[in-house]
Structure 1
Amino acid sequence: MAVELENKKCVPCSIGDTPLNHNDIMSFMDIVSDEWEVINDVKLQRTFKFKNFKDALEFTNNLGNLAENEGHHPDIMLSWGKVVVSFTTHKIHGLSENDFIMAMKTDKL
């Protein structure tokens, strides 16, 4: 299932679509890196650490390109040696499969 998820492309959600329920979220959490955490069943977040600002910035730029290609954009906080990445599906006020697709693809960066 992990390979399937990583090979999927994000599909836009519509207003009124239902966010993932807690059980579905936990099923997806079994697939992604243990370093991702779910916050209140509405946000998926991970902190990436780097040896310097330049590497953190390069990662951020690569993530920005990935997000543009997928049409699913994270909240990104960049600081010296650290990037905090958060995914949520704003249209549905919760998590969707897209958030987990992006988590898998972000880990590959």
Structure 2
Amino acid sequence: MSDASDQLVAQSCTPCRGGVPPLDPEEAESYLAQTPGWSLHDQAHRIEQTYRFKNFAAAYEFVKRVAALSEAEGHHPDIGFGWGYATISLQTKKIRGLHQNDFILAAKINRLSNEGGSSSSA
């Protein structure tokens, strides 16, 4: 993991109550460089990554770990999964765009992925 990713992992998500502007595309690109495997979508209002697994059970276990992490961080992604994959999508819905929290959680999900033996594909 890179030093920049480590810096994000060391942080915690902060409550977002709205009223703050979402990251602009340049800011989002800067954070994206710190979260390998993630890609920008919806005109830089959302990030997403698909992780690959050897079977359904491994994907399910990863999703459970992501859910527990998300609860602990108080920041919740959209998750889709099936046999051999889990797709994680992040955006801060209260501001209808990206916030630093999305990238903090993305870095932490990458760490979970590295611990659990998945591979990622953008």
Provide the residue aligned with 1:26 in structure 2.
29
Q: Work out the CA distance in 1 between the residues paired with 2:54 and 2:20.
A: 40
- Aligned length, in residue pairs: 108
Structure 2 stretches of 5 or more lacking a match? 113-122
Q: Distance in 1 between matches of 2:38 and 2:47?
A: 6
**Where does the alignment leave 5 or more consecutive residues of structure 1 unmatched?**
none
Identify which of 23, 35, 38 aligns with 1:36. 38
* Residue 12 of structure 1, CA deviation: 1.1
Corresponding residue number in structure 2 for 1:12:
15
TM-score, structure 2 as length reference: 0.86
Distance 1:15 1:8 in 2: 20
Q: 2:38 is aligned with what amino acid? A: W
Which residue of 98, 102, 107 maps to 2:105? Answer: 102
- Give me the whole-angstrom Cα distance separating, in 2, the residues matched to 1:51 and 1:28: 29
- The DSSP-based 3-state class of the residue aligned with 1:55 is helix
Q: CA–CA distance in 1 between the matches of 2:62 and 2:27?
A: 29
> Displacement of 1:3 after TM fit?
1.9
2:39 is matched by which residue type in structure 1?
E
Alignment of 1:74-93 (within 5 A): 74-93=77-96
The AA in structure 2 aligned to 1:37 is S
Provide, for residues 41-86 of structure 1, a one-character-per-residue CA deviation record: whole Å limited to 9, x for no partner: 1111000000100000000000000000000000000111010000
Measured on the aligned residues, the alpha-carbon RMSD in Å equals 0.8
CA–CA distance in 1 between the matches of 2:6 and 2:111?
12
TM-score by length of 1: 0.96
Measured after TM superposition, the shift of residue 2 of structure 1 is 2.6
* Residue identity matched to 1:61: K
The CA distance in 1 between the partners of 2:18 and 2:107, in whole Å, is 24
